[in-house]
Structures are given as structure tokens and as C-alpha cells.
Amino acid sequence: MLHDYTHSLPDLLQSLIDSNRPALFRSNAFRVIGLPAYAVPTEIRKQADKIRFSLRQGQRLNQSVRGPLPLDLPPLDETVSEALQRLNDPELRFVDEFFWFWPTPGQRKSDPALLALHSRDIDTAIEIWVGEARRPEDHGRSAHNLAVMFHTLALDIEYARETEEISGELESVQYRYWQKGLLQWQVVLNTETFWADLDQRVAELNDPRLPVKAASQMRAGLPLVLLLLSAQIAVRACASGTTNEALKYRALIQESGFAEEIVEAAIGRTAQLLRKSISTSRKTAEHNSERDREAADESVRRLLDQTQPLIVAIDFLVPGMDISNEVRDEVATAATNCLYFLTDRTTKTEVVCDLLERTRPYAVSLAVKEKIDDLRAAFLRAAYKTGR
């Protein structure tokens, strides 16, 4: 049975978890605007106006509006608007502030590590933060910034995979970044002074719309957020056929040191999201087949192509669980139902029989297998009678 840990999470983190995706750090409002966390509203508006002016003039963004780890491509105007909307919402701003770089107190505009990241000088930033982490007054800030940096870099690579194929070397770099980021988040989670400072930050914001216990809520939900992201990377690797990579990320989840119920929740929620995607594909195929019966075979072909990697990913995440058998039967049933629309199209007998052959391995229950076999037999009989 898959456990549902997420129902008990506060609203503060629920929206973050619901929208959890590899592009999480790319869409961080502070990154889009090009400012470190703690920026004040007037500073944010001024920065946004500069970006919009440059974009409308077709100019490259100059150094003054490029923040730490600037995006490789300038943000679209609507992306800037969305960032401003997030920063006007106290809870969303708090989340984005948490998952971005914190400047050294008193050095909001002159923090040397953040200035290094303006030009993507990662080695200098690491050197500075590793040194700062040894200072008692650091309070986990450097570990937090290292965690944000490593995971931003890792997810930038993950984002790039959507449009290009990356090398094995870059794949290894991504894994090391992700692993290092998780280790730094563990340091953050275990540093009491860090969370005391975050409590103080909530008090400074002094917004009645922001929960008084926002810091403790973030601390409680952070492990699940991290594991959900890890699970999504594992799923992508599994679905694309890079099994060894998927196994490494699954091992990171299972050996994370987080509570067993959180590990189960991350895996279970990810499996349920895959099931939801499969259900969407299934319903689309059924709808399209009913609307255009002549093309039902094409709808079934798309359904099988779309769901096969998702089912493989579910098997990888939760092998031997009921959910895997259930989705297999659901896809097989949907495919068979769609092909029923072609029972009077004897010219498509060969195509339908081939699709039923593809569908049958999906079926788990005897009833679904028999339904497939019966339909195949019906097509063959009809073809025989018409001499096709």
C-alpha cells in the first residue's frame, strides 16, 4: 500500500509540492528578476522595470540586471510578470526566498560569493562558502547557499535534457551536483541556528498572511520536496532507458537518511502522478476514438506509445505493487475498447490484430486477457467471412 504523507502538509508547502518539477529553480522569482533573496519591494520593481525595458528594446541584459547564476536566455516579459506576482504573495515569496541565495548580513549588494556567481564563477563561490561555513556566526547560511547552488546547477542540466541530448560526462556532473546538494541540505536541516534565523526572518516580514510557524513548516516539508525532485529525475532516467542513472537516484532516495514514511510518500506520490498521466492518456484515446472511429487505431497506437515508458517507471519505483497491475489492466482495457469501434472495418483487421498483440502484454487479469482474445477472434472471423 502507498502511504499518503502529503495530506498533512501545511498550505505553505503544498503548492510547492503540487508544482514540483525540474524547472523549479529556473522559475524562482528572484532568479528571474536577478536579485538575491531579501530584496525589498522597491528594489524588485526597479529591477523588473530595467529588465522589461531591455527586453522591449531588444537589448542584451547588462550586468546590472543579471543576478547570481543568471538564466542562459533572458526571461520573457510574461515570465517577469509571473515572478512579480509570486513576490507579491507572501507565502510564495517566502518559498522562493528560501530556495535562493541568502547574502551575508550587511553585504546584500556586495557579497563576494554572489558577485562571483553573477559571472558563473562557481569555484570561487564554493571556496568562499566553504570557508565561511567554519565561522560560528555563519549559522548554516553557507551550507544553504551551497545546497541551492548545487541543485540549481543540477536542475539546469535536467531542464536542458528536454531539448537536447547530454553527454555521459555531463550526466555524471549532474549526479555529483545533486548528491552534494542533498548533503548540504542535511547540514541545513540539522543546524538549529539556521532555523532560528528563519524564524526571525518571518518576524521581519511581519505579514499577517504568512504563517507564524512558516519556518518550522518549511523544515518539516523540505525532506519531501527534495525526495520528490530526486524521484522525478529517477523517473525521467528510467523512462528514457538510462537504467544505471535511474538506479543511482533511487539509491539516493532510499539512503537519504530521511524518515521511512517520507521516503515512501515521495515514491508513492510520484507513482500516483505517473498514474494520473496514464489516466489522462487513456481518457484522451477513448474520447478521440469515439469522436473519430475510423482513426481509433491511431489513438490506440498513441496510447500505447505514451503509456509504455510511464508504466516502466511505475514498475521501477514500486515493483510488485497493486498500482502497477491496475494501470496495466486500465491501459489494456482502454485500448481494447477503442478498437471495438473498428469491428465493422474488416480492411483494418491486420492493423487491429497487430495492436491487440501489442496490447495483450499489458493485461494482467484473466478477464482483460480474455477480452483482448475475444476481440481478436471476432476480427479474424469477420475477415474470414468477407474473404479478407
With cell 528563519, the residue in question is: 198
Q: Are 61 and 32 in contact (CB under 8 A)?
A: no
Q: Residues near 233 by Cβ (< 8 Å), separated by ≥ 6?
A: 22, 158, 178, 249
Reported pTM: 0.87
Residue 61 φ/ψ region, left for φ over 0, alpha for ψ in the -120 to 50 degree band, beta for the rest = beta
Give the 3-state DSSP-derived string for 301-342, with helices as H, strands as E and coil as C: HHHHHHHHHHHHHHHHHCCCCHHHHHHHHHHHHHHHHHHHCC
Q: What is the pLDDT of residue 8?
A: 52
* C-alpha angle 265-195-33 in degrees, rounded to nearest 5: 85
Q: What is the pLDDT of residue 113?
A: 95
Q: What is the pLDDT of residue 284?
A: 97
Torsional sign, CA 292, 295, 300, 302 = negative
Of 236, 348, 234, 249, nearest in space to 289 by CA: 348
Q: How many CB atoms lie within 10 A of CB 76?
A: 11
Distance CA 285, CA 279 (A): 10
User: What separation in angstroms does the CA of 330 have from each of 227, 254, 306?
Assistant: 28, 29, 14
Q: Are 278 and 330 in contact (CB under 8 A)?
A: yes
Q: What is the pLDDT of residue 17?
A: 66
Distance CA 55, CA 64 (A): 14
With cell 516502466, the residue in question is: 312
Q: Are 248 and 238 in contact (CB under 8 A)?
A: no
Q: What is the pLDDT of residue 282?
A: 96
Mean pLDDT by 10 residues, the chain (388 residues): 51 63 80 86 85 73 70 80 88 92 87 92 96 94 97 93 88 96 97 97 92 91 92 92 92 92 92 94 96 95 96 90 92 96 81 94 96 92 67
Residue 361 is given by DSSP the state: G
